[in-house]
Amino acid sequence: MAADRTNHTDCTDPTPEHGHNGHNLEVDFRATPSTRSLTWQVPESLVRGIPFRCLLAGGGRPFRTKSDSAKTLAKQLKPCVTYDAFISHDWQTSGWLKYASLLLLFNSQTAAIVTLVVS
């Protein structure tokens, strides 16, 4: 899942047209002779992300709801051009652990600065 922190759309009102819409998920891999690396050519309609604040909404609610988590997150995906961060996860890990990890990863620098200023 990709976190798009620049997308200012409402994460509580997912629209169905941004969810999985039956597109062919085939990715075109092509070796380039100059770099000998693979090029990803993904249709623009499949490049989607979820606003970062939606991942952290309600104490990480999207990660804690076991039954419909994947469907709920898929409905919140929005078309985007770039990603600020790419976050990969599994559905077996505790939602609280994922939430705490994201808070630590993305807020630790700000928290340290605020602590120094306030102390």
Instruction: Retrieve residue 59's tokens.
Output: 């104490």
By the 8 A CB rule, do 63 and 98 touch? yes
Instruction: Say which residues have a Cβ less than 8 Å from residue 31's Cβ, sequence separation at least 6.
Output: 37, 38
Q: Is the pTM of this model over 0.75?
A: no
Write the pLDDT tens digit of every residue in 59-98: 887 777 666 666 777 778 888 888 888 887 777 888 888 8
By the 8 A CB rule, do 1 and 69 touch? no
pLDDT of 37 reads: 59
Assess whether pLDDT exceeds 70 at residue 58: yes
Distance CA 5, CA 109 (A): 17
Instruction: Retrieve residue 73's tokens.
Output: 């997150």
Instruction: Retrieve residue 65's tokens.
Output: 């709801």
pLDDT of 118 reads: 95
Assess whether pLDDT exceeds 50 at residue 43: yes
Instruction: Retrieve residue 100's tokens.
Output: 């705490």
pLDDT of 51 reads: 84
